[in-house]
Amino acid sequence: MATEQVPPLADEMPTVQPEPARVRSDESGVHAGDKGYQQPEVDVAALRTLLDGRYAEVRDLVRANLAEHAQVLVDEEEMSTADFRERVKDVVVMMAGTGQTGMGFPEEYGGGGDIGASIAAFETLAMGDLSVLVKVGVQFGLFGGAILQLGTKTHHDAHLADLVSGRTMGCFAMTESGHGSNVQALGTVATYDTATEEFVITTPDDASRKDYIGNAAAHAELAAVFAQLEVDGERHGVHAFVVPIRSGGQVVDGVRIEDCGPKMGLNGVDNGRIWFDGVRVPRTALLNQFAEVTPEGRYLSPIENPNKRFFTMLGTLVQGRVCVGGAGINAAKVALTIATRYAVRRRQFEATSPDEEQVLLDYGMHQRRLLPLVARTYALHFAQEVVAGQLHDVFSGPGPNEEGDDEHARRMLESRAAATKALGTWHATHAIQECREACGGAGYISENRFTALKADTDVFTTFEGDNHVLLQLVAKGLLTDYAGEFEDMDQLGMARFVAGLAVETVVERTSVHKLVQSVRDLLPGGDRWDQEAGLLDPNYQLAMLRFREEHMIGGVARRLKRGIDQGSNPGAVFSRVQDHVIAAARAHAERLVLEAFVAKAAELPDGDLKVAVNLLCDLHALSTIEADRAWFMEHGRLSSARSKAISREVGSLCRKIRPLAVDLVDAFGVPEEVLRSPELLTWTDTGPA
């Protein structure tokens, strides 16, 4: 590896010539640079066991169900929209009968009592038809989750057993045409009528109609409706109500439903719009986990602060966000499995031999296109494993309250879920497109799955929270460390809060684990950490991402504080730095992903499996740094020579991973029946088999 000089830190530490690249400091001899490197052999079954984790049996159950119902992938292409919606509903109900869709519900209602298992099942379901996945998410995750998390025993007894079995279909009526992600500003109103002890649900205008509601256009009988609760002319914020919208298959009086029509994808899901015209429901229709209205019209809540109450209520629904992120990652696995296996079969051009054409994956550019995406998929898988485990732990414990560590843990979970969801779904969009292109014209044929994968996953970046909005939530937590005023802060409040602190205080209060000085202390070089560290040292890789995160957070704080101190409007100040805010949150998310990958690799015993996982971890880490090398060079963390060395190392890692590529994607465990793509996967030297 070439030597080079690295620009100093801000405190002008001296530059030194770096030593040659070292092996990973925690696993000497496991893998290093080219010298002494031995190609590992991948045990696909062992690697799949590692990926499947504690819920391997759950994932295998879902794989078996996917294989059994693989015909639904063909039905999506051949059936009318109306018929395919019915087909998807039937598949969902049949899968409910196996227990895979109800694993997160209490056992007394026919569930499995294991939230972690329910997330694993949902993620794996994303390997099949995604209309089925989203229908499951709406029925059991959103509608069922609202009943379970926001309701009390009365609601559980009335609804859970029927919805878990699929006997009652429901929908989650939150989003409105004119309010989008601003849930606190919803226009639908639920007014309490003391004389009849009923709530009257009303849509005041078209901007307040419920929109894009899955299950609404054809199948839902009940809706979890989010509306502004009003008692005696006083508003108490958004609450949820169970509202019948159909009876015997017919829309009930006072409810109007309109089909959203053909969509970019997911046409097996019946999205609709809903209006309510004075629909009356009993007082007990209020999902009253966090608030109650007495018969005589007194509003009661154990959480006095209305903003805290709102965020606590929405926080209980974070499972949907976690599941969508995991689904995106698993959809990417399907695309990468197809594209990688095609790339070792399909030949093109006599590049290295006059006698035969070369397989696609032997081309360096093809390796560069696919293998970093495989590595990133592994990284995101392990990051998703962390957030899913946190969700299981938080929601398997006591419920939310106003005091104590539980509330802070939930805020941390919401932030991590938002970060992982954003990165996971953006990755799916990018990976699926790259894999489609890597399969040439064959990738454009519907039978080869990319048509549906592209169309059906594209919405993942904007549902369960638009990714840019989610990253603003992440940044809010980073800049305030979930201060006591957290729930009261909108964007302007966050700007004012930060402006009231010294910049050093902002950095110290963030959730970043290491300050710049302690980052340096991670490595034996001390102040010379980034000159002496080998590129394959995980401490170096983590330090680079931590430095970027800390620097960006400090920069956002300085810009907010400077603008407000100069008397500028806080809203205008925030708008000017919004791109910086998003960048800081994304840097934070990237750091969390790499930490999860490094930690998983460190847990493995020495051997070929660890070597293979470390190759992927190194490729992911260096690809991440390489992708933002302009920033690192601008901020003194990379010289041009070291930047080039990173690019050379990425190429070297791709060549080492090339012989392992098929084993690495086969370990994802995508059932052969749902891969389809016969022309791609059975290609021989003479063409399709």
What is the rounded distance in angstroms from the CA atom of residue 650 to the CA atom of residue 643?
A: 11
Q: Phi and psi for 170 in degrees, rounded to 5?
A: -140, 175
Determine contact, residues 494/480, Cβ cutoff 8 Å.
Answer: yes
pLDDT the model gives residue 186: 93
Residues contacting residue 402 through CB under 8 Å, at least 6 positions apart: 302, 303, 304, 305, 308
Determine contact, residues 328/424, Cβ cutoff 8 Å.
Answer: yes
Determine contact, residues 493/574, Cβ cutoff 8 Å.
Answer: no
Is residue 244 helix, strand or coil?
strand
Count Cβ atoms below 10 Å from residue 373 Cβ, excluding itself.
Answer: 24
pLDDT the model gives residue 71: 96
User: E strands within 232-367?
Assistant: 234-244, 246-247, 250-251, 255-259, 272-282, 292-293, 299-300
pLDDT the model gives residue 479: 80
The pair of three-digit structure tokens given for residue 348, joined into one six-digit string: 């093109």
> How do residues 176-216 score in pLDDT, each as one tens digit?
999 877 888 899 999 999 999 999 999 999 999 999 999 99
Residue 631 to residues 89, 493, 593, 619: CA-CA distances in angstroms? 49, 29, 19, 19
Measure CA of the first residue to CA of the last residue in the chain; give whole Å.
44
What is the rounded distance in angstroms from the CA atom of residue 677 to the CA atom of residue 283?
A: 54
pLDDT the model gives residue 536: 93
Residues contacting residue 60 through CB under 8 Å, at least 6 positions apart: 52
pLDDT the model gives residue 209: 97
Q: Of 88, 71, 44, whose CA–CA distance to 219 is shortest? A: 88
Q: What is the 3-state secondary structure (H, E, C) of 165-202?
A: HCCCCEEEECCECCCCCCHHHCCCEEEEECCCCEEEEE
Look up residue 578 and give its amino acid.
Answer: Q
- Helix, strand, coil percentages for the chain (3-state, nearest 5): 60, 10, 30
Determine contact, residues 149/421, Cβ cutoff 8 Å.
Answer: no
Residue 259 to residues 216, 253, 255: CA-CA distances in angstroms? 8, 17, 13
What is the rounded distance in angstroms from the CA atom of residue 177 to the CA atom of residue 204?
A: 12
pLDDT the model gives residue 19: 31
Q: Phi and psi for 229 in degrees, rounded to 5?
A: -85, 125
Greatest CA separation for the chain: 90
Enumerate the β-bridge partners of residue 238: 228
Q: Of 275, 200, 274, whose CA–CA distance to 241 is shortest? A: 200
Using only C-alpha atoms, the chain has a radius of gyration, in whole angstroms, of 26
Low-confidence spans in the chain with pLDDT less than 70: 1-36, 347, 349-354, 356-357, 397-405, 481-533, 683-689
Q: How far is CA 36 from the centre of its chain?
A: 39
Reading phi first (left if > 0) and then psi (alpha if -120 to 50, else beta), residue 280 is in: beta
Look up residue 163 and give its amino acid.
Answer: L
pLDDT the model gives residue 128: 97
Is residue 436 helix, strand or coil?
helix
Determine contact, residues 76/128, Cβ cutoff 8 Å.
Answer: no
